[in-house]
Structure 1
């Protein structure tokens, strides 16, 4: 989780609160599915940052894959 340390402290705190609160409670309502190269992932907005994640509905688990600024999160790696 070295990427998490690169986030501004204020943004990181807000994202943790968002992911463990509202997003965990109702991930489908607060996100949208992605297409093309990111097919299978979902995205949720928190300020200028995007949380890319997958869901395991059987286990009721949300797996966060990436949290980045909106300007770079969807670019190919």
Structure 2
């Protein structure tokens, strides 16, 4: 788990940014935006769970029926949001 201190740097991939920019319902987009700008940088393990193979290295955080998929680089203190998808699609493209 991460130690208290400096927040993690946040990176958002193009597919995740595209989802946030218009593909998500407004309420979900607001909840996801709050998650990725506050909770993930402060403590990326708090609301997520580590996924099992074949998705090792990826974490998933729930926001309603949507999943925020992200990777955590502990050494460099970077969280990369890789996708924001409905739960029925979240694990198909990764």
TM, length-normalised to structure 1: 0.84
Task: Give me the whole-angstrom Cα distance separating, in 2, the residues matched to 1:12 and 1:29.
Answer: 20
Look up the match of 1:50. 67
* Ranges in structure 1 where 5+ consecutive residues have no aligned partner: none
* Ranges in structure 2 where 5+ consecutive residues have no aligned partner: 1-16
* Residue 74 (1) aligns with residue 91 (2): yes
> Aligned-pair RMSD on alpha carbons?
1.6
CA-to-partner distance for each residue in 1:28-61, whole Å, 9 max, x for gaps? Answer: 1221111122111011111111111001112221
Q: CA deviation at 1:22?
A: 1.8
Look up the match of 1:2. 18
* Residue 27 (1) aligns with residue 54 (2): no
TM, length-normalised to structure 2: 0.71
**Count of residue pairs the alignment pairs up:** 77
Task: Give me the whole-angstrom Cα distance separating, in 2, the residues matched to 1:37 and 1:76.
Answer: 11
* Residue 61 (1) aligns with residue 81 (2): no
